[in-house]
Chains A and B, each alone.
Chain A
């Protein structure tokens, strides 16, 4: 279990660079490329720095990798990528993908994605993932050669399609509800947080206006002048302090966003299970109806109404040879069907087992990460208050000298 890739190599996404190139339609486009560096982790006694390998990848390649993982490991909650477009922005933050702050936060998000995959006991062993990190050229072709796109079930893309499953697994249903709730509550929280940040920004920045007025006012005052002037300076400091504070908060927001997207990944696993269950039930149903058909043909009794039965009644029965042939075909199909059903059942049980193992792992990770995120948020708030205390203590001193 501790054989994870993350223990063997150090992975960083260390740089981001703007590039221009030509896209599939031969039109010029600008995109950002990210530098992935890997270095083998040396054991303590060697004390030598091993060489760094590096290659550049762009966001769309990360997307390709993730889609590959989703299809290849349907029972795993696959770590999400950072958002494609800036969402939940408050007014000062740019919604532009080329904005340097956005690019920087994305770089961190991509590094985080790679680390998560590398420390996942199952995912880290995948060779395509390894080549993503180490093989510059020809990686795209390699991925496409796996033919994973064919395996991808297009039905999963229809997000709202419901599959009427007769015997749903209660645990998966509950999990799906949980993932829906998590998604809705986190996105609500992020929206309100963005508005709160906006307002807080306003409060701090307006205090900056004091600085200028105090300074101008101090020019006409004799005794009050000094106090006013220095108080004004502190107001400027106060107004400026909000920028750093809110930047730190963005990192907290990003941590929450990761779990917002994780909720989607969780939901995807539930959907895949649902689909599997549905296919299983359909196959079982199909098998039952074939068996019935066979029986009817053999015994000549019509149990259930079928159009074929009616037409054959109206237009005459088949002769015995035709009937024999039909029964033979059906028996073959039934044989096939029973084998398929068996393997499907096995598949299903394996899926459920490994999915739940990963879901338990995910739950622990989620609880740990979210707790830490909340703690760091509290620490941020405390630090913001400490700064506020300092500024206003200074300001108070200046005011009292007026």
Chain B
């Protein structure tokens, strides 16, 4: 399973941005097994009469035969990514679809499109597509291929073809109805364990998210005070003779500490914070996946109940049950496999992220 590695490396001829370089060095292990390389970059603002929005350039390089060409370049906006995600969820209800960055950020964002926000979003979108590319099943999804290759007009006409808004609404209504019914009776032990795990994990990862942000904030405030600290020593050295050099020395050291602090902060914001945030979103997604699996099982269970009560349409119902049993089994297996894969990834990501933090701190103190 080549998907142990996270999908961010790409061919050396591509111009790389500094942040993707950081991601790249993690994945030198199995480059030869990858045959689909995707990058998201070059955000551009578009202003129309009705709205303002940002598009991102999506570049795909591949050696796969199902693709007509070996290189594609398209522009996509956030809405398009949302569409792709919902198509994938529809097609594979019990697979773990990677998270998209949030639509809006709550805290103190005055401008919807400030540079930091756009850059964070771009990185997350890049990760999203690469995770899909790495997934053994999702990578061969037809909508995914269209997303990567179709021109703008091709994509919008394709979008219109799917199940309409009404049918999607129908699904949601059924979902709500069955969740109201409460827990599933025949849920296999394994999935109950998963549920319990996810509840705790979700709690912990959210707390971690808060802690990591708090640390970043404290480091920033420390940095702000330090900026003032060095210059005072320089000022003092101006009134002194004998100790002027010592004072200037202290001032320059403090300034170096300032720079080191900046590096440490950058390390946090580029590595740890996005990873933790992604898993915060993942925990929501996983709860959703587990619910969907329960739903599918619920369908089966209600049919079995119906069989018990309605002897008359026995054959029809039995056939339906047969289909549903298959469905449930597929769903369960899919989830089981994907769960293992997700956990491996999570372990890897967390290990890498925290090790990176430790290294950054080491560099900070060494400097």
Q: Do A and B interact with each other, yes or no?
A: yes
* Min C-beta distance of B360 to chain A, whole Å: 9
User: Which secondary structure dominates where chain A touches chain B?
Assistant: helix
Whether A389 contacts B362 in the complex (CB less than 8 A), given A189-B232, A199-B222, A217-B201, comes out as yes
* Min C-beta distance of A393 to chain B, whole Å: 6
Whether A388 contacts B365 in the complex (CB less than 8 A), given A192-B228, A216-B204, A400-B351, comes out as yes
- Does A203 sit within 8 A of B, measured CB to CB? yes
Partner of A213, one of B211, B361, B366: B211
Interface residues in A, total, Cβ within 8 A: 48
Q: Is the CB of B253 within 8 A of A378?
A: yes
Determine the residue in chain A with the shortest Cβ distance to B226. Answer: A196
Whether A400 contacts B207 in the complex (CB less than 8 A), given A195-B225, A370-B243, A378-B250, comes out as no
Convert B192-234 into 0s and 1s, putting 1 for each residue whose CB lies closer than 8 angstroms to a CB of A: 0000010011001001100100110011011011101100110
CB-defined contacts of B358 to chain A, threshold 8 Å:
392-393, 395-396, 399
Could you tell me the distance between the alpha carbons of A375 and B247 in the complex, rounded to whole angstroms?
10
Could you tell me the distance between the alpha carbons of A193 and B249 in the complex, rounded to whole angstroms?
17
Select the stretch in A153-161, A178-186, A273-281 that faces chain B. A178-186
Convert B47-70 into 0s and 1s, putting 1 for each residue whose CB lies closer than 8 angstroms to a CB of A: 000000000000000000000000
Which of the four size classes fits the interface of chain B? 35 or more
Which parts of A336-365 form the interface with B (CB within 8 Å)? none
Q: Is the CB of B211 within 8 A of A185?
A: no
Q: Is the CB of A181 within 8 A of B239?
A: yes
Q: Is the CB of A196 within 8 A of B219?
A: no
Partner of B242, one of A216, A367, A400: A367
Which parts of A363-378 form the interface with B (CB within 8 Å)? 367, 370-371, 374-375, 377-378
Q: Is the CB of A389 within 8 A of B350?
A: no
Q: Is the CB of B361 within 8 A of A388?
A: yes
Could you tell me the distance between the alpha carbons of A402 and B346 in the complex, rounded to whole angstroms?
11
Determine the residue in chain A with the shortest Cβ distance to B260. Answer: A385
Whether A196 contacts B239 in the complex (CB less than 8 A), given A385-B365, A393-B362, comes out as no
Determine the residue in chain A with the shortest Cβ distance to B344. Answer: A223
Convert B333-367 into 0s and 1s, putting 1 for each residue whose CB lies closer than 8 angstroms to a CB of A: 00000000000000100110011011101101110
- Does B235 sit within 8 A of A, measured CB to CB? yes
- Does B20 sit within 8 A of A, measured CB to CB? no
* Min C-beta distance of A396 to chain B, whole Å: 3
Convert A181-212 into 0s and 1s, putting 1 for each residue whose CB lies closer than 8 angstroms to a CB of B: 11001101100110110111011001101100
Q: Is the CB of A374 within 8 A of B247?
A: yes
CB-defined contacts of A178 to chain B, threshold 8 Å:
239
* Min C-beta distance of B277 to chain A, whole Å: 15
* Min C-beta distance of B241 to chain A, whole Å: 8
Whether A402 contacts B362 in the complex (CB less than 8 A), given A189-B232, A209-B211, A377-B250, comes out as no
- Does B246 sit within 8 A of A, measured CB to CB? yes
Q: Is the CB of A389 within 8 A of B365?
A: yes
Partner of B350, one of A209, A224, A371, A395: A224
Q: Is the CB of B359 within 8 A of A396?
A: yes
CB-defined contacts of A374 to chain B, threshold 8 Å:
243, 246-247, 249-250
Whether A210 contacts B211 in the complex (CB less than 8 A), given A199-B221, A217-B201, A367-B243, comes out as yes
Which residues from chain B sit less than 8 Å from chain A, CB to CB?
Answer: 197, 200-201, 204, 207-208, 211, 214-215, 218-219, 221-222, 224-226, 228-229, 232-233, 235-236, 239, 242-243, 246-247, 249-250, 253, 257, 347, 350-351, 354-355, 357-359, 361-362, 364-366
| Seed contacts A195-B225, A381-B257, A396-B358; 19 additional CB < 8 Å A-B pairs | A178-B239, A182-B239, A186-B236, A196-B229, A198-B225, A199-B224, A199-B225, A200-B222, A202-B222, A203-B222, A217-B201, A374-B246, A375-B246, A385-B365, A392-B362, A393-B362, A395-B361, A399-B354, A402-B350
Sample (21) of A-B pairs whose CB atoms are under 8 Å apart: A185-B232, A185-B239, A192-B228, A199-B218, A199-B221, A202-B218, A203-B219, A206-B218, A209-B211, A213-B211, A220-B200, A224-B350, A224-B351, A378-B250, A385-B366, A388-B361, A396-B359, A399-B354, A399-B357, A402-B347, A402-B351
